[in-house]
Amino acid sequence: MRPESLDFLTRLVEAPSPSGYEQPAQRIFREYISPFAEVTTDVMGNVIGRIPGDGEGVPRVMLVGHSDEVGFQVKYVDDNGFIYFAAIGGVDAHLTPGKRVRVHTAQGEIAGVIGKKPIHLMEEEDRKKVVRLDAQYIDIGAVNKKEVQELVRVGDAVTFADGLERLLGDRVASRAFDDKAGSFVVAEVLRTVAQAGAKLPVDLYGVSSVQEEIGLRGGTTSAYSVNPDVGICVEVDFATDQPDVEKKHNGEVKLGQGPILPRGANINHPLFDLLSSTAGREGIPVQYTGIPRASGTDANVMQISRGGVATALVKIPLRYMHTPVELLSLSDLENAVRLIVAALPGMAGDFIPR
């Protein structure tokens, strides 16, 4: 991966952006695509980049990846200065105790930790139980409630402290690859198309959407506004090449073996065929999974926007989803970009199933 792209990915995933609080990440996305796309931001906070196609009235193609991550929100401060919180999105209560966090306040980031009773002081039965999120608390080192309230307000967002780290080969770990990996691919497609210089037979819209983790909200509004003819959602999906994940649930999906092309009710068959045949023609590795119902991604709301949209999913294999140590292969991101760019000229076609 070129250094500038890796730097963009790093800044994007490390910017705090729990659902409803996405603008630090959206500012980075907006700044990155501004040199090569017409950029707007809507009232929801979705950032939309447009590269006009060749002529008037050409089909509109919308690419979308969501910028929001799972996280927490400050709910209550007790008299001793401990901060109680609620989850934003699907956070596993098993993994939060003992984690370092950042509280994002009007005065800047404040470091904290999620406390945990020492194992020495726990009864045997308590050691087997998961502490409910509403019983967990953040300690920022304050001595009382007043000291916290001088810095922190109810409603402030909280994220895990973890950032991007290189592992062996082209593997990287970070929080928030779900789904800043998708926003990254969308931005890189826009950059690649713009730098190629040739006009496409489609108007290309690249969207970094908001509030996906709490109900596909930004995907709903941005799809209505763009009104695309064709929509591609770039998301992450469960890799099944770790020891404790059952392949019967999600098929055989491996890191480094290319992006995933799902099939199912959420996927337009001719559009799937275009992506699959493009991968074969260009020698781009891809993997296949089945989704027999609505996908739970922005592709779902895109498909049923207005009179209906021809939609498909391009997914990035990911280990350890919704943890602070999500893990992926950089080559899968690059191959997702290659696949979408190569398929774009064919998206001016007819996608009515017959």
Q: Which residues are catalytic, by number?
A: 212
Residue type, 75: K
At a CB cut-off of 8 Å and minimum separation 6, what does 122 contact?
none
* Prior bond of 126 cis (ω within 30°): no
Half-sphere exposure of 351 (CA within 13 A, CB side): 25
At a CB cut-off of 8 Å and minimum separation 6, what does 300 contact?
216, 266, 294
Instruction: With beta carbons less than 8 A apart as the criterion, state whether 91 and 323 touch.
Output: no
Instruction: With beta carbons less than 8 A apart as the criterion, state whether 232 and 337 touch.
Output: no
